Chains A and B, each alone.
Chain A
Amino acid sequence: GEDVEQSLFLSVREGDSSVINCTYTDSSSTYLYWYKQEPGAGLQLLTYIFSNMDMKQDQRLTVLLNKKDKHLSLRIADTQTGDSAIYFCADGAGSYIPTFGRGTSLIVHP
């Protein structure tokens, strides 16, 4: 079955870059997604990448995909305290419903 792994915590200083990593197992993934969940809120789709792309940039967000190693990363440039949240990697392989990783809690210190 599909499996998506993420580290559980990341702590950075305000203004630094954050890099959140994710690995997945299903090589038939078509789209891979990053969702953000702020405390007490639902999930918000931040960005996604199509499996034939290596990189996607969207303002402060850069997604890198290494399909050979099944490794996905999300880089947030100039991290702000408002970026503190849980970030979920999701794999859109197989069924059209994503498989979510366990989430990475990003803590941004002033």
Chain B
Amino acid sequence: DTEVTQTPKHLVMGMTNKKSLKCEQHMGHRAMYWYKQKAKKPPELMFVYSYEKLSINESVPSRFSPECPNSSLLNLHLHALQPEDSALYLCASSQEGGNLFEQFFGPGTRLTVL
């Protein structure tokens, strides 16, 4: 199984809502990532989890809260978002270690904040 799955595919939320994005992989990867991608732009790294511990937070506002309940799952909890947070949110995973860095990406969650 070389797939990263993400749910939901689409999410529309108001600025006062609380919602969560989910990501799952069963490739035994120990590194998992959240990226934000605006239209016609490259992905921007948000968070990195390594062995279920948060290793990188790219100065992301606290209204985004990541969680890694186990080695296969990664969540992104959303609260009090702004319209400019509307974007495609991509999850990825990879093996830890080594120089060859192959990330496997999920299809993304298209988030719209009203």
Interface, chain A (partner B; CB < 8 A): 30-31, 33, 40-45, 48, 50, 88, 92, 96-98, 100-103, 105
Contact = CB atoms under 8 A, between A and B. Distances in A.
Given A41-B107, A44-B105, A96-B101, 7 more contacts: A30-B99, A43-B105, A45-B104, A92-B99, A98-B103, A103-B41, A105-B40
B15 to A, nearest CB: 25
Contacts of B92: 42-43
17 contacts: A30-B99, A31-B101, A40-B108, A40-B110, A41-B108, A42-B90, A42-B107, A43-B43, A43-B103, A43-B105, A44-B105, A45-B104, A50-B100, A96-B99, A96-B101, A98-B101, A103-B42
Contacts of B48: 97
B43 A31 contact: no
Interface of B: 4, 6, 33, 40-43, 45, 48, 56, 90, 92, 99-108, 110
A28 to B, nearest CB: 11
Given A100-B43, A102-B41, A102-B42, A45 B103 contact: yes
Nearest to A95: B56
A45 B41 contact: no
B40 A103 contact: yes
The 9 closest A-B pairs by CB, nearest first: A42-B105, A100-B42, A43-B105, A30-B99, A42-B107, A42-B108, A96-B101, A42-B106, A42-B90
Given A43-B90, A100-B43, A31 B100 contact: yes
Contacts of B106: 42
Contacts of A40: 107-108, 110
A45 B108 contact: no
Q: Which of B6, B33, B99, B101 has the most CB of A within 10 A?
A: B101
Given A102-B41, A103-B42, A97 B4 contact: no
